[in-house]
A and B are shown apart, each in its own frame.
Chain A
Amino acid sequence: METLNFLMQGFGVAMTPTNLIVALIGTLIGTVVGLLPGLGPINGIALLIPVAFALGLPPETSLILLAAVYLGCEYGGRISSILLNIPGEAATMMTCLDGYPLARQGMAGVALSLSAWSSFIGAFIATCGMVLFSPLLAKWAIAFGPAEYFALMALAILSLSGMAAEKPVKTLVAALFGLAIASVGIDANSGVYRFTFDNVHLADGIDFVILVLGLFSVSELLLLLEQTHHGQVAVKATGRMLFNVREARSVFMVNMRSSVSGFIIGVLPGAGATLASALAYTTEKRLAGADGKFGKGDLRGLAAPETAIGAAVCGNMIPMLTLGIPGSGTTAVMIGALTLYNITPGPLLFQNEPNLVWGLIASLFIANVMLLILNVPMVKMFTKILDVPNWSLAPAIAIITGIGVYAVHATTFDLVLMVCVGIFGYIMRKLDFPLSPLLLGFILGELMETSLRRALSISNGDVGILWQSGISQVIWIVCILMVALPFYRAWRKRRAPKPATV
């Protein structure tokens, strides 16, 4: 009952005219950013943070803006997947598999509206899950001490690399690098300058906006240079634009199953929408068995990943709000945005900033409805954006990125640093190092160091405190499982071919 009151309060915050307009603008920007291949939610959000801050938006309003952009990106990514067979966003890769064949069969309109509907159901169910579970988790998490936090962050990092199927070590190295460079700047506890090389601009550490924009926008610009799919023509969305009741009913169970699995994966640290959509797709494919035409335009193959993405995006925000620990690159950027406002996300957020938390949750409901309404009639307009040629898109990205970085400290140093970070990020991407673990590590680094030091101060230097409590023991056991996961996978892979050949 108490939760319901809070939710009503949240709707009160989200329904103010400013916040409604902000949510609408956010969903529009998000859809466009998601639509453009290469630009994802991380870029979109990172570019908007300095703007939101400069505009003097209150924290809840800018968080609503960022969340609407995040949600909108996933809606937009789907459009280019279905019409162009190019995922507009990493998570919507699975949507191509059945969405594009459907579009080729003249069902583009149906595919677009049905996938929007699926996304909506997924996000709606996940937001309900958020309302139910996050206050409980927050209440429980208040008991966490620094030792538990340290273990939890270790878990976030380790599960990130445990889940990365092919390249656990590369993922771990990237995350550790992020954790390490978070220590650049003045050490808050002792006042020692670390890795500043007597440079004034580094005394405050590397600003995360610079890191994000360099890593993601600049490296993306460089990758765009070699893109070859210029001439690809989008399939025209003609004929029936709306799905009918029979089609909606045929995928209803798929929607339900994928929502639940997407939500759970979204809550887990390190996984996120990309894994959720892949898992939902393969599960449905297996369940359908022989009577499915997966890969050739099955509505279930379209609905499953889209539902899971919608659910995972909302599930992702639970650890961010309740524990202050991001589970994905995008939520890491959102945490960075909150720290600009001197708000430390964590269990106390639910007590101290109910307007912020519940306003955000309520606005997720609203943004979702907006996206569903916007997406059906406005699809034709959005597809026009896909016609913008690279030679006018790339310069615009470059210039806006520069503005975003300049808005932080107004120094040339930051701009040069951003370009250097971008070149480094580009090489990393070329060599198959994932970038979001680096970002996640960078955001977690400071918190991880303070909790480690605080824990050891409590125990007067005894390392044993890190695994004394029951909670932290459980977390460490899960950590060990995560470390073992890649080894288990490798072992099973080596064993698997043998029975097949017999």
Chain B
Amino acid sequence: MIFQRAFMAVWLVAGLVMLFIARDYQAPFSYEPVGPRAYPMLMFGLMSLGLAYLIIRPTPIGDGEDQKPLDASSLRKVVACCVILLGYALTFQPLGFPLSAFLTATLCGLLYGGRLMPCALVSLLLSISLYVLFDRVMEVPLPLGVLEFLEG
């Protein structure tokens, strides 16, 4: 419950900041009665009201599959997974898709409880076949990055 309140409080502050920023949006020339600031201010305002209500009277979190409380080891895994995904996002262009995807998939597979060799093998197959499928067959251009010399 504390975490829920804290999260909503951060969200509320962000909403209020947005509301504050939106106040300055004014069109230099305007032919219409409603300018560019009314709508975002209305929406962020209503959202902040709703959040404020929820902070005062939080709804109990349901007992669905998604809402199970986290234990320490799951939390560590979630954080690790976020780091891996961020790494994937940041290396996608510099390292190129095949290499970045191979590394990400291997690490990711290990995190989900796979063993090193099968993970690496599956990842190798995945990254190469997806590269060929998307870049060559379906013409979705993907970066080769450091492997660019192979293309020549």
List 5 A-B residue pairs with CB atoms under 8 Å apart, sorted by A's residue number: A180-B47, A391-B118, A395-B106, A406-B92, A429-B66
| A78 CB → nearest B CB, Å | 18
Q: Does A50 make an interface contact (CB < 8 A)?
A: yes
Q: Does A194 make an interface contact (CB < 8 A)?
A: yes
A403 contacts across to B, CB distance below 8 A: 97, 130, 134, 140, 142
Query: A180-B15, A392-B118, A399-B126 given. 16 additional CB < 8 A pairs?
Result: A180-B43, A190-B29, A192-B36, A223-B66, A226-B68, A392-B109, A394-B112, A398-B85, A402-B104, A406-B97, A412-B89, A419-B89, A423-B82, A431-B7, A431-B8, A453-B34
User: When the two chains form their complex, are residues A183 and B113 in contact, meaning their CB atoms are under 8 A apart?
Assistant: no
Bound Cα distance A189, B26 (Å): 11
CB within 8 Å of A: which B105-119 residues: 105-106, 108-114, 118-119
CB within 8 Å of A: which B24-83 residues: 25-36, 38-40, 43-44, 46-47, 50-51, 53-54, 59, 61-62, 64, 66-68, 70, 74, 77-78, 81-82
Given A190-B36, A194-B22: A176 in contact with B82 (beta carbons within 8 A): no
CB-defined interface of A400-432 with B at 8 Å, one 1/0 digit per residue?
101100110010100110110011001101111
A221 contacts across to B, CB distance below 8 A: 81, 85
List of 4 A-B pairs having minimum Cβ-Cβ separation, nearest first? A391-B114, A461-B33, A190-B27, A395-B105
Bound Cα distance A432, B62 (Å): 6
User: When the two chains form their complex, are residues B32 and A456 in contact, meaning their CB atoms are under 8 A apart?
Assistant: yes
Q: Does B148 make an interface contact (CB < 8 A)?
A: no
B67 contacts across to A, CB distance below 8 A: 429-432
Q: Does A247 make an interface contact (CB < 8 A)?
A: no
User: When the two chains form their complex, are residues B36 and A416 in contact, meaning their CB atoms are under 8 A apart?
Assistant: no
Total number of residue pairs linking A and B with CB closer than 8 Å:
207
Q: Does A225 make an interface contact (CB < 8 A)?
A: yes
User: When the two chains form their complex, are residues B21 and A415 in contact, meaning their CB atoms are under 8 A apart?
Assistant: no
User: When the two chains form their complex, are residues A412 and B59 in contact, meaning their CB atoms are under 8 A apart?
Assistant: no
Given A223-B66, A398-B105, A427-B7: A406 in contact with B142 (beta carbons within 8 A): yes
Question: Chain B: residues with CB nearer than 8 A to chain A?
Answer: 3-4, 7-8, 15, 18, 21-22, 25-36, 38-40, 43-44, 46-47, 50-51, 53-54, 59, 61-62, 64, 66-68, 70, 74, 77-78, 81-82, 85-86, 88-90, 92-93, 97, 101, 104-106, 108-114, 118-119, 122-123, 126-127, 130, 134, 138-143
Given A406-B142, A410-B141, A416-B86: A452 in contact with B34 (beta carbons within 8 A): yes
Chain B residue with the shortest CB-CB distance to A393: B112
Bound Cα distance A22, B20 (Å): 48
Bound Cα distance A449, B74 (Å): 41
Q: Does A317 make an interface contact (CB < 8 A)?
A: no
| B20 CB → nearest A CB, Å | 12
A55 contacts across to B, CB distance below 8 A: 138-139
A415 contacts across to B, CB distance below 8 A: 88-90, 92
A431 contacts across to B, CB distance below 8 A: 3-4, 7-8, 61, 67
Given A173-B50, A180-B44, A225-B81: A399 in contact with B130 (beta carbons within 8 A): yes
Chain B residue with the shortest CB-CB distance to A221: B81
Bound Cα distance A222, B62 (Å): 19
B86 contacts across to A, CB distance below 8 A: 416, 419
Q: Does A195 make an interface contact (CB < 8 A)?
A: yes
Binds B, one of A28-36, A129-137, A162-170, A289-297: A162-170
| B152 CB → nearest A CB, Å | 21
A432 contacts across to B, CB distance below 8 A: 59, 61-62, 64, 66-67
CB within 8 Å of B: which A20-47 residues: none
B142 contacts across to A, CB distance below 8 A: 403, 406
Residue from A222, A392, A452 in contact with B78 in the complex, judged by beta carbons closer than 8 Å: A222
Question: Chain A: residues with CB nearer than 8 A to chain B?
Answer: 50-51, 54-55, 166-167, 169-170, 172-173, 176-177, 179-180, 183, 187, 189-192, 194-195, 218, 221-226, 230, 389-392, 394-396, 398-400, 402-403, 406-407, 410, 412, 415-416, 418-419, 422-423, 426-427, 429-432, 445, 448-449, 452-453, 456-457, 460-461
Instruction: Determine which residue in B32, B62, B130 has the highest number of CB atoms from chain A within 10 A of its CB, and name it.
Output: B32
User: When the two chains form their complex, are residues B122 and A461 in contact, meaning their CB atoms are under 8 A apart?
Assistant: no
Chain B residue with the shortest CB-CB distance to A171: B50
Residue from B32, B35, B108 in contact with A398 in the complex, judged by beta carbons closer than 8 Å: B108
Chain B residue with the shortest CB-CB distance to A55: B138
User: When the two chains form their complex, are residues A51 and B138 in contact, meaning their CB atoms are under 8 A apart?
Assistant: yes
User: When the two chains form their complex, are residues B59 and A183 in contact, meaning their CB atoms are under 8 A apart?
Assistant: no
User: When the two chains form their complex, are residues A418 and B89 in contact, meaning their CB atoms are under 8 A apart?
Assistant: yes
| B31 CB → nearest A CB, Å | 8
B50 contacts across to A, CB distance below 8 A: 169, 172-173, 176
Bound Cα distance A178, B127 (Å): 34
Chain B residue with the shortest CB-CB distance to A454: B32
Bound Cα distance A389, B113 (Å): 9
Chain B residue with the shortest CB-CB distance to A400: B130
Bound Cα distance A453, B105 (Å): 47
Bound Cα distance A183, B130 (Å): 35
Given A194-B22, A398-B85: A173 in contact with B47 (beta carbons within 8 A): yes
B134 contacts across to A, CB distance below 8 A: 51, 403, 407
B141 contacts across to A, CB distance below 8 A: 410
Chain B residue with the shortest CB-CB distance to A167: B59
User: When the two chains form their complex, are residues A402 and B22 in contact, meaning their CB atoms are under 8 A apart?
Assistant: no
Given A226-B74, A452-B39: A176 in contact with B46 (beta carbons within 8 A): yes
User: When the two chains form their complex, are residues A394 and B109 in contact, meaning their CB atoms are under 8 A apart?
Assistant: yes
